[in-house]
Amino acid sequence: MKESWKATEAKRVTGEGNQGLLLYRLAGYGVHNRDLKPWMTGLLTALSLMMVTVTIGLLAHFLASGQKMERYQRTFTISDIQVKSNSGQKSSNQLKDLQEMNEKLVDEIFIDSALNKHYLKDHTVKLTPEEGDAKADIVMAFQPPSAGQRTMGEKKTDSILNKKTRTTRALPANVSVVQVGAMCSSAGKLTVQAYCGKRAIPLIVSRIVSGNLAAKGAWPWQVSLQRSNIHQCGGTLIGNMWVVTAAHCFRTNSNPRQWTLSFGTTINPPLMKRGVRRIIMHERYHPPARDHDIALVQFSPKVTFSDEVRRICLPEASASFPPNSPVYITGFGALYYSGPSQNELREARVEIISNDVCKQRHVYGSDIKRGMFCAGYLEGTYDACRGDSGGPLVIKDSKDTWYLLGIVSWGDNCGQKNKPGVYTQVTYYRRWIASKTGL
Ligand code: ARG
């Protein structure tokens, strides 16, 4: 779905308008219908009183629980929505997707801004479909700096919104403010799932060793980890300053100053480069054992997400994926065992192989430990190879959102019969990742 996105003025609703705060609209009813019967007026008054009571109750709840939050409401206009042509109606699914997308965009804007430590969450209070576009009333919640209890500053919020919405889809943004009190009762749950795992182009993979060249923007989370500007390993972008990779990449050198990251589908020229600030190898990675082959790389400056650079989603620790699921591996690694690394990113479709199958004696037997899994084909051919290490093995859900399941770790030779690739299992290390990065 391609749409342009801008923030417009949040109108206070009187008789003729229909955007803005739900509360305003209720209040506006009395003004609009002058010839209401007395009992109706009574009912409406009772209703309004009820709303006020609920609002006060919620306010009291938030104040009592000591949760100091500031909320701002803005109306966002999303233009150029593709409407289902025959009916002209947007299905409720489309609207739900739109709402989700909007909320994620707001998340992304603030998480990637100077207010990221204060931003808590956003919530759509109203979505109004119109011809060709839609208006979304979104309430954003911030935690103000605690010490002096200063306010976050609407100016700062708006200047960030203005700047970002303009660069998002190049439409002029005009933001104004309606501050709201305890609008959303769910504001206490502080789960922010930022925009992740989406890519700007559709999947056209027909099917690394024996893979295909990747299209621009197809795998925007892929990075190349380089030492003295020479590609060593792959890695995956999981946040605007975090990459996850394999610990064995740093076996001989874990000095962050000697490492750089590059983004984009070619190593030369790179789309963008970053310096490595910190390398966190798993504490229990002790070579030559291959267990716990996972590391985190913090880089700077932060990246701004775009069509070509985007973070992937991390699965929940409890997520599981059935054997034979189609998954994709990508990398700049060799096309055959002992071959050279590649300048252009390649992709291959492989399948998850169950532990039962992979632990058979003629496959890898007891070399497969907890926190590892196999993927590929027992017949061979499609596989990762040297230089793909640390890179992603990803899966797509039914909503075309991509998740990181595996990290290229090891394998006997490349693409050989009964010797599929072995990957670090991301769900197994999900809490470790969260403990180090907060993601
Ligand atoms: N350890 C290798 C590297 O350093 C990656 C091995 C993956 N091998 C395989 N057959 N899947 O790049």
For residue range 11-55, what is the model confidence (pLDDT) as tens digits? 332 233 332 222 222 223 333 444 557 767 666 667 776 776 665
**Confidence at residue 203, expressed as pLDDT on a 0 to 100 scale:** 61
- Check pocket membership of 411 for ligand 1, CB cut-off 6 A: yes
Q: Please, what is the Cα angle at 254 between 369 and 408, to 5 degrees?
A: 35
Mean pLDDT of the chain: 77
Position in ligand 1 atom list of the atom nearest CA 419: 10
3-state secondary structure of 427: helix
**Confidence at residue 281, expressed as pLDDT on a 0 to 100 scale:** 98
CB 272 within 8 A of CB 299: no
Q: Which of 409, 418, 419 to mutate to test the pocket of ligand 1 (most atoms within 8 A of CB)?
A: 409
Task: Please state, in angstroms and rounded to a whole number, the distance separating the CA atoms of residues 38 and 36.
Answer: 6
pLDDT in tens, 300-322: 999 999 999 999 999 999 999 99
Closest to 215 in 3D by CA, of 345, 349, 350: 345
More confident residue, 50 or 388: 388
Tokens of 136: 């979304």
- Check pocket membership of 406 for ligand 1, CB cut-off 6 A: no
What's the distance, Cα to Cα, between the start and end of the chain in Å? 27
> Which of 152-161, 173-182, 199-208 has the weakest average pLDDT?
173-182
Measured in Å, residue 387 CA sits from the centre of ligand 1 at: 7
- Check pocket membership of 377 for ligand 1, CB cut-off 6 A: no
Task: Please state, in angstroms and rounded to a whole number, the distance separating the CA atoms of residues 367 and 373.
Answer: 11
pLDDT above 80: residue 435: yes
- Check pocket membership of 375 for ligand 1, CB cut-off 6 A: no
Closest to 289 in 3D by CA, of 233, 235, 367: 367
Closest to 127 in 3D by CA, of 93, 96, 166, 83: 96
Measured in Å, residue 38 CA sits from the centre of ligand 1 at: 79
**Confidence at residue 181, expressed as pLDDT on a 0 to 100 scale:** 29
The pTM score is 0.61
Q: Is the peptide bond before 145 cis (omega within 30 degrees of 0)?
A: no
3-state secondary structure of 431: helix
Task: Please state, in angstroms and rounded to a whole number, the distance separating the CA atoms of residues 352 and 324.
Answer: 5
Position in ligand 1 atom list of the atom nearest CA 333: 12
Look up residue 316 and give its DSSP letter.
P
**Confidence at residue 226, expressed as pLDDT on a 0 to 100 scale:** 98
More confident residue, 304 or 100: 304
pLDDT in tens, 314-368: 999 999 999 999 999 999 999 999 999 999 999 999 999 999 999 999 999 999 9
